[in-house]
Amino acid sequence: MSQPEEMFRPTRIPDVILVQPRVFRDERGFFLETYHDLRYAEGGIGETFVQDNHSKSTQGILRGLHAQEKQPQGKLVRAVEGRIFDVAVDIRRGSPTFGQWVGEFLSADDFRQLYVPPGFLHGFYVVSETAQVEYKCTARYDAADELAVRWNDSEIGIDWPAGTPQLSDKDAAAPTLREVWDRLPTFQA
């Protein structure tokens, strides 16, 4: 039996990387490494991760769009239960992909991960009955540094897989990207 391949595939925004880890399956179940610093660095994800987060949500919940202003967080996201539509939006002023978004379905069944680099908004929508999401972060969370943008900002135009999601009060009141322009990071080539 041949070993499955680990794949790192840049998305249409090349800094956002879709990861398909190696999954070893047999009659007992499966095994995988969800992160290996050297291999992930070879695949284009060379960041140091300093914090892990875990959330559980029910179908129809949308979390996001979030970033941090002064301490931007890169995130390596995966669904450990259920299925989500995971989104990254480039908010680096001066970037050739500024304001563009990438969305990928991630599920506990396919083990895929999405790397969302620092300088991007991140959010996800739960498409299964429930979903648990784990993600590694390159900077520690700081509530005073948080930046939120409206999930349905027409200038971004994300094609979410649902009509009206259930949002937190904070996310429902989030401003548009244009309204937070002066707080956005600058692209470093």
Q: Return the bridge partners of 61, or none.
A: 166
Domain region containing 130: 7-181
pLDDT at 185: 93
Residue 22 has pLDDT above 70, yes or no: yes
Residue 3 has pLDDT above 60, yes or no: no
**Rounded to whole angstroms, how far apart are CA atoms 32 and 183?**
39
Name the band, by pLDDT with cuts 50, 70 and 90, for residue 4.
low
Catalytic option among 40, 115, 125, 135: 135
Q: Which helix (H) or strand (E) holds 169?
A: helix 169-172
For residue 142, tell me if it sits in a domain: yes
Tell me the residue type at 72: P
For residue 186, tell me if it sits in a domain: no
**Rounded to whole angstroms, how far apart are CA atoms 89 and 13?**
9
Q: In what order do the strands lie in the sheet with 120-126?
A: 101-107, 83-90, 120-126, 62-68, 146-148
For residue 1, tell me if it sits in a domain: no
For residue 37, tell me if it sits in a domain: yes
The residue assigned the tokens 């300093």 is 50
Backbone angles phi, psi at 12, to 5 degrees: -70, -15
pLDDT at 43: 95
Query: How wide is the angle at C-alpha 62 spanned by C-alphas 14 and 50, nearest 5°?
Result: 55
Domain of residue 27, CATH code: 2.60.120.10
DSSP strands (E only) in 35-82: 51-58, 62-68, 75-81
For residue 109, tell me if it sits in a domain: yes
| 30-34, 69-73, 95-99, 144-148: the lowest-pLDDT one | 30-34
For residue 2, tell me if it sits in a domain: no
Q: Reply yes or no on whether 125 is catalytic.
A: no
Which of the pair, 61 or 32, is modelled with greater confidence? 61
For residue 187, tell me if it sits in a domain: no
Catalytic option among 66, 115, 122, 125: 66
pLDDT at 135: 97
Q: Reply yes or no on whether 54 is catalytic.
A: no
Q: Which helix (H) or strand (E) holds 172?
A: helix 169-172
pLDDT at 1: 45
Residue 94 has pLDDT above 70, yes or no: yes
Averaged over 110-128, what is the pLDDT?
Answer: 97
Tell me the residue type at 139: A
For residue 18, tell me if it sits in a domain: yes
pLDDT digits (tens, 9 = 90+) for 138-179: 999 999 999 999 999 999 999 999 878 999 999 999 999 999
Whole-model pTM: value is 0.94
Name the band, by pLDDT with cuts 50, 70 and 90, for residue 29.
confident
What residues have CB less than 8 Å from 116, skipping those under 6 apart? 16, 74, 75, 76, 77, 86, 88, 122
Mean of all residue pLDDT scores within the chain: 94
Question: Domain total for the chain?
Answer: 1
